[in-house]
Amino acid sequence: MSIMVEPDGSGRFGQFGGRFVPETLVPACQELEVGFREAWDDPAFRGELDHLLRTYAGRPSILTECNNLGRQLGIRLLLKREDLNHTGSHKINNVLGQALLAKRMGKKRIVAETGAGQHGVASATAAALLGLECKVYMGAVDMERQALNVFRMRLLGAQVEPAMSGSRTLKDAVNEAMRDWVATVESTHYCLGSVMGPHPYPWMVRQFHRVIGDEAREQCREATGADPDVVVACVGGGSNAIGIFSGFIDTKARLIGVEPAGGAAVGRGVPGVVHGMKSFLMQDEHGQVQEAHSISAGLDYPGVGPEHSYLAEMGRAEYPSVTDEEVIGGFSLLAKTEGIIPALECAHALAWIAREAPNMAGQTVLMNLSGRGDKDVAQMMDILK
């Protein structure tokens, strides 16, 4: 069976995915699918994107071997340094692609949702660079815990709008962004920040992030002469995880997507339909979506991208979860042993590695360090004092 190829005509990965949107948005999704397909096959578009990734975002991102922490844990630990990208996370890969595409399709404005603010900052950045108007929806709770990123977005010229409904976190920001898009679809592109939403988003966003995995595979072979035994990433919607998994899907590597215990869509969810897609979803017996609760705003989401549900169902990837307490441990561990402050999101991946290291003795573990922790320092100051 071939996996991580294009989804079928209805946007399905197995039983998951699809395009469950109001009629109003169907033509826009269809146009986006056609527009993306044409752009992705067009060497001029790919050249322009590649140029921006190299000269603006700072790609390729480097691979760092963690000798101190590796020795302590009894494994060989490699980090893919997406934290060193411009704007501080992997999110810029997808956003530059979508913003270029939006311009190519004649859109003047983008809307985005954001959790931790990293996707919002990346969107505001790309909009500033490419001359697009930008509005970012962010849960009111997240605006408080990620205040620094709110200021960064405004500094970059974006309008930041609080989502006041429901849990006032990422799920509600997606709702607001979709409501905006329903009203503005003729002039606006919805710059979705993860491998979720209606077709073609899960596929398109994966293609924009596969550069992470493609680079890492080469770098890993160069550094170790082989493919890694284990590839680990944190999972909110799942974009940084899909990005790195796509480089190793056809190897023997175990693929591990780490979810927060309070937002474990794969671990605790059942199939459901929300935000345009069918996927694992935390919900009650009547289909009401449950609120996620995580220390990390970027992973505070009750759903997950449909391709992850597919990989989980077929057993190709595993989706364990870690607690907030373990995450705090992972955050400090990398800072103290390697001099790298990780984003709270990827501290989930570190927490899992630290916990499972005894079962991986001597193995090579590649982790996607999806973002830097500067945005989380104020929040951690409160937690650690």
Partner 1 sequence: MTGLEAHLRTRRSEGKKLLIPYVTGGLTNWKEGIRAAVAAGADAIEVGIPFSDPVMDGPVIQDASQRALEAGATPPGILAEIPTIDVQVPIVVMLYYNTVFRTGHERFASLCRNNGVSGAIVPDLPLEESGPWCEVADAAGIETVMLAAPTAPDARLPRIAARARGFVYAVGLLGITGERDALANTATAIAGRVKAVTDKPVLVGVGVSNADQAREACRVADGVIQGASVVRRLMESGPDAVGEYIAEVRAAIDEN
Contact indicator for 247, 150 with CB cutoff of 8 Å: no
* Exposure string over 254-270, b if 16+ CB within 10 A, otherwise e: bbbbbbbbbbbbbbbbe
Applying CB under 8 A, does 189 fall inside the site for partner 1?
Answer: no
Which is it for strands 276-281 and 270-274: parallel, antiparallel or unpaired?
antiparallel
Applying CB under 6 A, does 239 fall inside the site for ligand PLP?
Answer: yes
The continuous run of DSSP H or E covering 109 comes out as: strand 109-114
Q: Which two tokens stand for residue 173?
A: 């920001």
Applying CB under 8 A, does 320 fall inside the site for partner 1?
Answer: no
- Tokens 């603006």 belong to which residue? 56
Contact indicator for 62, 79 with CB cutoff of 8 Å: no
Size of the site for ligand PLP (CB under 6 A): 21
Residue 367 interacts, among ligand PLP, partner 1, none and using kind-specific CB cut-offs from 5 to 8 Å, with none
**Residue from 115, 247, 276, 302 that binds ligand PLP (CB under 6 A)?**
115
The continuous run of DSSP H or E covering 27 comes out as: helix 26-40
Query: One symbol per residue from 23 to 62: x for binding partner 1 (CB under 8 A), - otherwise; what is it?
Result: xxxxxx----------------------------------
Applying CB under 8 A, does 106 fall inside the site for partner 1?
Answer: no
**Residue from 93, 279, 370, 379 that binds ligand PLP (CB under 6 A)?**
370
**Residue from 106, 131, 186, 361 that binds partner 1 (CB under 8 A)?**
186
Residue from 324, 360, 357 nearest 69 by CA: 357
- Segment contacting ligand PLP by CB under 6 A, of 7-15, 160-168, 235-243, 283-291: 235-243
- Segment contacting ligand PLP by CB under 6 A, of 4-12, 25-33, 236-244, 320-328: 236-244
Taking the least distance from each CB to partner 1, the nearer of 61 and 279 is 279
Applying CB under 6 A, does 121 fall inside the site for ligand PLP?
Answer: no
Which is it for strands 76-81 and 63-65: parallel, antiparallel or unpaired?
antiparallel
Residues 166 to 185: which contact partner 1 by CB under 8 A?
A: 166, 171, 175, 178-179, 182-185
Non-local CB neighbours of 14 within 8 Å, separated by 6+ positions = 309, 310, 313, 314
Q: Which of 29, 51, 66, 346 is catalytic?
A: 66
Residues 225 to 284: which contact partner 1 by CB under 8 A?
A: 270-276, 278, 281, 283
Backbone conformation region of residue 342, classed left if phi is above 0, alpha if psi is from -120 to 50, else beta? beta
Q: Catalytic annotation on 66?
A: yes
From the number of C-beta atoms within 10 Å of its C-beta (0-12, 13-18, 19+), residue 49 rates as buried
Residue from 373, 241, 263 nearest 308 by CA: 241
**Residue from 10, 55, 359, 381 that binds partner 1 (CB under 8 A)?**
10
**Residue from 73, 295, 371, 380 that binds ligand PLP (CB under 6 A)?**
371
Applying CB under 8 A, does 20 fall inside the site for partner 1?
Answer: yes
Residue 306 in 3-state DSSP?
Answer: helix
Taking the least distance from each CB to partner 1, the nearer of 162 and 320 is 162
Q: Catalytic annotation on 191?
A: no
Applying CB under 8 A, does 135 fall inside the site for partner 1?
Answer: no
- The CA distance from 304 to 364, in Å, is 27
CB of 275 to ligand PLP, least distance (A): 13
Q: Which of 29, 90, 346, 348 is catalytic?
A: 90
Applying CB under 6 A, does 267 fall inside the site for ligand PLP?
Answer: no
Taking the least distance from each CB to ligand PLP, the nearer of 221 and 236 is 236
Q: How many CA atoms lie less than 13 Å away from 284 in the CB half-sphere? A: 4
Rounded to 5 degrees, φ, ψ at 244 are -80, -35
Number of H helices, E strands in the chain: 15, 15
Rounded to 5 degrees, φ, ψ at 343 are -65, 150
Residue 239 interacts, among partner 1, ligand PLP, none and using kind-specific CB cut-offs from 5 to 8 Å, with ligand PLP
The continuous run of DSSP H or E covering 136 comes out as: strand 133-139
Applying CB under 6 A, does 309 fall inside the site for ligand PLP?
Answer: no
Q: Which two tokens stand for residue 309?
A: 């549900």
Binding residues (CB under 6 A) for ligand PLP: these are 89, 115-116, 118-119, 194, 234-241, 298-299, 343, 345-346, 370-371
Catalytic site positions? 66, 90
Binding residues (CB under 8 A) for partner 1: these are 10, 18-28, 165-166, 171, 175, 178-179, 182-186, 270-276, 278, 281, 283, 285-289
